[in-house]
């Protein structure tokens, strides 16, 4: 990670794009390692978290976004056309132009490529565990884009593969890894930090993965609803 570049980008996000507030910052960890888990909100979630949190975070990102051959088309389909509303053929040109800038930027700022093959995913975990072993922070946006959007929170259900970091980290170090929920709320321009969910090695691994995923997802739901115009709504968390 290029720390100077990381902080420069974070400052630019806060001053030029986001300009929001960080709430419940006392819940942030005093030291790593830790996994920070947030809702996505398209491009806004990563910008808001990067701008708001006073932590140097390595972040999971789709491997295609870091591949010079694949990034332009991925960027066109995922960002330029649906979010910037730029139609083809201009969208193709714009995506290629942006990719020439964002690939080296994302790599220097701490992007961890997430591959979608068993061998590739093993590499993602290995890179992440090495960083966690150094006391670093990992940022993950685990929403599944193929599942329906919840209209109350603008979230889709989480994938749970990332929760295996707790299992693998314990196997490697015999230490407990905390997962911190983050809720990015566009309407109030806020990022709220929840209390950590800690890996429990006493549970069956499959059950523990589901527990961590569910508690993080519901915790972020609750924080988003608290920040919404409807006010606070208490949702039960699984034990």
Q: Residues 143-171: what's their mean pLDDT?
A: 95
Q: Residues 156-179: what's their mean pLDDT?
A: 97
Given this model, what pLDDT does residue 179 score? 98
Query: Is 3-227 in CATH node 3.30.300?
Result: no
Give yes or no for a contact between 169 and 177, defined as CB atoms under 8 angstroms apart. yes
Q: How confident is the model at residue 234 (pLDDT cuts 50, 70, 90)?
A: very low
Residue 192, sorted as left (phi over 0), alpha (psi -120 to 50) or beta, turns out to be beta
For the chain, give the number of residues.
239
Q: How confident is the model at residue 102 (pLDDT cuts 50, 70, 90)?
A: confident
- Rounded to a whole number, what is the largest CA-CA distance in the chain? 55
Question: DSSP class of residue 116?
Answer: S
Question: DSSP class of residue 10?
Answer: H
Q: Is the peptide bond before 6 cis (omega within 30 degrees of 0)?
A: no
Spatial neighbors of 226 by CB under 8 A, at least 6 apart, are 192, 232, 233
What span, in angstroms and rounded, lies between the C-alpha atoms of 60 and 97?
23
Whether residue 231 is predicted with pLDDT greater than 70 in this model: the reply is: no
Q: How confident is the model at residue 229 (pLDDT cuts 50, 70, 90)?
A: low
Q: Residues 17-37: what's their mean pLDDT?
A: 95
Q: Where are the domains of the chain?
A: 3-227
Spatial neighbors of 112 by CB under 8 A, at least 6 apart, are 58, 59, 60, 61, 124, 127, 128, 131, 138
Whether residue 130 is predicted with pLDDT greater than 90 in this model: the reply is: yes
Given this model, what pLDDT does residue 116 score? 81
SS3 214: helix
Given this model, what pLDDT does residue 225 score? 93
Q: Residues 72-97: what's their mean pLDDT?
A: 90
Which of 2-6, 83-87, 89-93 is the least confident region? 2-6
- Kindly report the average pLDDT of the chain as a whole number: 90
The tokens for 172 are 């490697």
Q: Per-residue b/e over 8-31, b at no fewer than 16 CB within 10 Å?
A: ebbeebbeeebebebbeeeebeee
Q: How confident is the model at residue 42 (pLDDT cuts 50, 70, 90)?
A: confident
What span, in angstroms and rounded, lies between the C-alpha atoms of 136 and 32?
5
Spatial neighbors of 14 by CB under 8 A, at least 6 apart, are 20, 51, 52
Per-residue pLDDT tens digits for 199-227: 999 999 999 999 999 999 999 999 999 99
Q: Residues 172-192: what's their mean pLDDT?
A: 96
């Amino acid at each position: 990670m290029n720390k100077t570049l990381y902080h420069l980008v974070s400052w630019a996000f806060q001053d030029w794009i986001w300009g929001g507030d960080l709430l419940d910052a006392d819940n942030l960890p005093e030291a790593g390692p830790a996994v920070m888990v947030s809702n996505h909100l398209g491009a806004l979630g990563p910008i808001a978290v990067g701008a708001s949190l006073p932590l140097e975070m390595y972040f999971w990102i789709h491997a295609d976004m870091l591949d010079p051959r694949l990034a332009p088309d991925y960027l066109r389909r995922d960002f330029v056309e649906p979010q910037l509303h730029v139609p083809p053929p201009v969208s193709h040109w714009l995506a290629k132009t942006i990719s020439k800038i964002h690939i080296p930027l994302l790599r220097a700022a701490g992007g961890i490529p997430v591959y979608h093959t068993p061998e590739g995913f093993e590499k993602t975990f290995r890179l992440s565990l090495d960083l966690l072993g150094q006391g670093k922070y990992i940022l993950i946006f685990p929403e599944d884009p193929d599942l329906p959007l919840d209209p109350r929170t603008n979230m889709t259900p989480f994938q749970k593969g990332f929760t295996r970091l707790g299992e693998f980290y314990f196997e490697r170090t015999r230490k407990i890894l905390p997962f911190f929920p983050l809720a990015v709320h566009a309407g109030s321009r806020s990022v709220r930090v929840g209390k950590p969910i800690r890996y429990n090695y006493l549970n069956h691994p499959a059950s523990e993965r589901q527990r961590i995923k569910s508690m993080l997802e519901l915790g972020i739901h609750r924080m988003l609803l608290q920040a919404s115009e409807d006010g606070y709504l208490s949702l039960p968390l699984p034990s």
